[in-house]
């Protein structure tokens, strides 16, 4: 029996085939686990809060697991330092702590997940945003995109905006009902005149998300901003529960897992 810990992990997902481990391809969890096992010289099963897709980034991913008995806070801090030396610059362990709850799970103890999506809305692309923002040349109506957020707040069946899991023989279909806590578009203010004009940010928080849900919502709302769809159509799309009713799917590189929330007893959010 080891000591249960949680790590807050950030990564640039550009060079990975997603977060979760898959045999034969490079993943964030695979690199992290291999580095921990190299340092600790013991098998390290790990649990992540969210399974981000290939190309998706994170600032507040949370990972939990057990380290051998006897490791103290100083030992955990040394582990973080060594991991960052091995995994940088693509992966960073931002902080780590032992948890008082031996049953804590980065995935199952989470109370919410919070994602951000960046859109660069300008006539000319910005090379420094190429890996982290979706460039759209045509002007977007931000007010219309925010109107499109209203119908998705609350608990709904998001079949229209999710990639449905493959059915398993003998099992009931997986529920795609999710509860959205908040969703809103913002214009990111420039710190310096002419700094990053046209940068838009979508913030969405939910108890959980299904596969491609955020990217499908973003792509559909961008279609609203471009005038291809009307904000008033969002509710009808939800009710149809038909993937074909949604708009385009936004590319993965603009998406970031920003924060995962936990109860105060588990240490609060992963800021």
Per-residue pLDDT tens over the stretch 164-201 = 877 666 667 788 999 999 999 999 987 655 567 789 99
Q: How far apart are CA 178 and CA 175, in angstroms?
A: 9
Specify which residues 93 forms β-bridges with.
9
Q: Is 223 a catalytic residue?
A: no
Q: What percent of the chain has pLDDT over 90?
A: 81
> Which domains does the chain possess?
3-109 (3.30.70.580), 112-259 (3.30.70.660)
Catalytic residue among 53, 78, 150, 242: 53
Pseudo-torsion of CA 119, 120, 126, 130, nearest 10°? 10
**pLDDT on residue 193:** 55
> Can you state the angle between helices 28-40 and 73-87, rounded to 10 degrees?
130
Q: Are 27 and 46 in contact (CB under 8 A)?
A: no
Q: Are 180 and 112 in contact (CB under 8 A)?
A: no
* Helix (H) / strand (E) containing 90: none
Is the whole model's pTM more than 0.85, yes or no? yes
**pLDDT on residue 39:** 94
What's the rounded mean pLDDT across residues 153-167?
A: 89
Q: How far apart are CA 144 and CA 31, in angstroms?
A: 41
Cβ–Cβ contacts within 10 Å for residue 147, how many? 17
**pLDDT on residue 218:** 98
* Radius of gyration, alpha carbons of the chain: 20
**pLDDT on residue 192:** 57
Residue 105's pLDDT band (cuts 50, 70, 90): very high
DSSP state of 207: S
């Amino acid at each position: 029996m080891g000591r249960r810990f949680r790590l807050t992990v950030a990564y640039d997902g550009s060079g990975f085939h997603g977060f979760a481990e898959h045999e034969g391809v490079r993943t964030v969890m695979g690199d992290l686990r291999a580095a921990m096992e190299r340092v600790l010289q013991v098998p390290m099963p790990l649990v992540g809060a969210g399974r981000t897709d290939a190309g998706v980034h994170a600032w507040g991913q949370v990972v939990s697991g057990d380290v051998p008995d006897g490791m103290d806070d100083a030992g955990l801090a040394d582990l973080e330092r060594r991991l960052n030396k091995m995994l940088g610059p693509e992966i960073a362990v931002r902080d780590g702590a032992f948890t008082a709850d031996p049953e804590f799970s980065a995935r199952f103890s989470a109370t919410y997940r919070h994602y951000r999506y960046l859109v660069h809305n300008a006539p000319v692309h910005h090379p420094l945003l190429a890996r982290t923002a979706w460039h759209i040349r045509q002007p977007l109506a931000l007010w219309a995109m925010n109107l499109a957020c209203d119908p998705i707040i609350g608990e709904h069946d998001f079949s229209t905006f999710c990639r449905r899991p493959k059915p398993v023989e003998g099992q009931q279909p997986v529920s795609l009902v999710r509860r959205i806590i908040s969703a809103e578009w913002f214009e990111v203010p420039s710190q310096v005149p002419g700094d990053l004009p046209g940068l838009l940010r979508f913030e969405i928080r939910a108890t959980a998300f299904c596969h491609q849900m955020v990217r499908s919502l973003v792509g559909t709302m961008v279609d609203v901003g471009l005038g291809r769809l009307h904000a008033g159509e969002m509710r009808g799309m939800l009710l149809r529960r038909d993937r074909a009713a949604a708009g385009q799917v936004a590319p993965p590189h603009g998406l970031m897992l920003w924060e995962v929330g936990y109860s105060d007893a588990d240490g609060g959010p992963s800021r």
